[in-house]
Amino acid sequence: MLDIKFIRENPDLIRDAARKKRITFNVEKLLEVDKIRRERQIEIDALRAQLHATSDQIAQLEDKDAKERIIAEMRALKKDIGEKEKAYTEIMSDFERLMYEVPNIPDPSVPDGGSDADNQEIRTVGVKPEFSFEPKSNIDILHELDLADFERGALVGGFRGFFLKNDAVLLTMGIWQFVFKHLVEKGYQPHTAPVLVREESFLGTGYFPQGREDVYKTQDDTYLIGTSEVSIMGMFRDQIFDEKDLPIKIVAFSPCFRREIGAHGKDTKGLYRVHEFMKVEQIILGPADHMESVKFHEELQKNGEEIMQLLGLAYRVVVNCGGDLGLGQVKKYDIEAWLPARRAYGETHSTSYFHDFQTRRLGIKYRNSEGVVRFAHSLNATAIATPRILMSILEQNQQEDGSVKIPKVLVPYVGKTEIKKP
C-alpha cells in the first residue's frame, strides 16, 4: 500500500507503474473517491461540532419551550449525521478497496516487458555438464532409482500429488539442514512458520486481493500459505521497533501450498509445479532507506547464489521485467537452474524488495534516533525450495551407469556419495 498523499501528488507515477506491471488500475477513480471521502469527513466533523455546541447551549437554557425546540433540532441533526456516516462508510469501503489495488512503483532499472519471457539475463554461473550419453529427465531418474511415486501420489493426493521415497527423502532433508546451517552462520534467526494464516496477513503482504484464486482456503476462513513470508510478516504486525534493532534477518521453514491456477497445461508431470512443497525463505526488515534496501536485496541474492554454487549447480540470474513483478515488488531477481534434459533453465529462487508497501499495510514501524516513527522496509528471497531443486541436482549429476552423484556439501547429511539403482 502506498501513502495516499504520495498518490495524490504523483498520479502519473501510479499510471506508469500500472502500465509497466501490466495491471489494470484507474488512479483517477481512486482520486475521485478520495476527494468525496475527504469532503464527507469534513461535513460530518462540522455537523458533530454543531451538535456539540447545541448540546452545550441546552445546558444553559431555562426556557422549557426553547429547550424542546433545540432538542428537536438535535434529533434532526443526529439523524442527518447518522445518514451521512452511513454514506461515509460506503465511500470508505470503496476507498480501501481501491487502495489495496494500487501497484507499487518499480525501480527504474526494471526492464519493460509483459511476461517472464521478457526477463533479462544478467549472468550465467557454473559450467553446464556435458554428457557422453543422452541425459535423462529428472522424472525418468526418479522412476529408475525408485525415488518417487507419482501414480500413487495422484491416487492419494489428486492431480500433481507425489510421494518422495528412499534416498530422495534423505537428500531433501539434507538440503534443508545444509541451507539452514549456511544462513544461521550468517546471523539469520531460524524460525518455523504457521501454515494456516488469517486473511489479514495475505492482505498485508500484497497477495490479496489479486491472488486469491491461487490460495487454498479452509472451512474455518483461514488460508494455506504459499510462502512463509506471509506468516513471518504477519508475526510483526502492528509492532514498533527501535532503529538500533534493525535489520531483522530471519530464515524460515514451512510447508507451502499453491493451486497453480495460472499454470493449467504447464509442467503437469514431475516436480516443477506441484501443489504442495517445502521452502526455506529469507526475510529482512530494515530501515526506510532505498539504498539500504538495495544493499539487502543484493545480500539476499548473494545468499541464494552461494547455496547454488555450494551445491555445484550451473544456473543463470535474470532481472524480472515489469509484467513479471507482483503488485508490491519494487524489483526482483530470479535464479534459474540448468536442466540438461530440457536444454533450458528453470526457476528455483526469487529475490524481491518492497520498500514500505507491505509494512504500511501491516503497521510495521520503527522509531529512529530522533524519535520519529517510520514504516520499515521489507525484503524476502527463496533460500531453497524442495522438491523443485531436486530436478537440477539429479539431472546435472547423473552418470552414464544410471547413478547420481550427491553434491559434496550434502554427503554428510545423506551418508553416501551417490544414489544407485536398487
Q: Please report which confidence band the pLDDT of residue 198 belongs to, taking 50, 70 and 90 as the band edges.
A: very high
Whose cell is 508490491? That residue is 328
Query: Could you tell me which residues are beta bridge partners of residue 163?
Result: 149
Q: What is the pLDDT of residue 270?
A: 76
In this predicted structure, which of 6-15, 63-72, 213-222 has the lowest mean pLDDT? 63-72
Residue whose grid cell is 510447508: 255
Per-residue cell: 10:
504523483
Percent of the chain with pLDDT over 90: 85
Question: Is the CATH number 3.30.930.10 carried by domain 116-419?
Answer: yes
| Structure confidence by residue, pLDDT tens digits, 109-152 | 999 999 999 999 999 999 999 999 999 999 999 999 999 999 99
Which pLDDT score, from 0 to 100, does residue 421 have? 85
Using the predicted structure, report yes or no on whether residue 54 has a pLDDT greater than 70. Answer: yes
pLDDT surpassing 60 at residue 262? no
In sequence order, which ranges of 236-387 are alpha helices (DSSP H)? Answer: 290-310, 357-362
| pLDDT over 80 (residue 64) | no
How many Å separate Cα 13 from the centre of its chain?
Answer: 23
Distances (CA, A) of 129 to 137, 178, 349, 386, 390: 14, 23, 21, 22, 16
pLDDT in tens, 338-367: 999 999 999 999 999 999 999 999 999 999
CA-atom Rg of the chain in angstroms: 27
Closest CA to 95 of 43, 45, 32, 40: 32
CATH superfamily to which 4-99 belongs: Serine-tRNA synthetase, tRNA binding domain (1.10.287.40)
Domain with CATH 1.10.287.40 in the chain: 4-99
Residue-level pLDDT at 73: 80
Q: What residue ranges of the chain are covered by domains with CATH 3.30.930.10?
A: 116-419
Mean pLDDT of 275-286: 96
pLDDT band at 265 (very low <50, low <70, confident <90, very high): low
Does residue 269 have a pLDDT over 80?
no
Any idea which residues carry the catalytic annotation? 258, 273, 347, 350, 388
Whether pLDDT at 217 is above 90: yes
Number of residues in the chain: 422
Mean pLDDT of the chain: 94
Rounded Cα gap, residues 30 and 193, in angstroms: 36
Is the pLDDT at 388 greater than 70? The verdict is yes
pLDDT of residue 266: 64
> What burial letters (b/e) apply to 100-134, b meaning 16+ CB within 10 Å?
ebbbbbbbeebbebeeeeebeeeeeebeeeeeeee
Contact (Cβ atoms closer than 8 angstroms) between residue 265 and residue 392? no
57: pLDDT strictly greater than 90: no
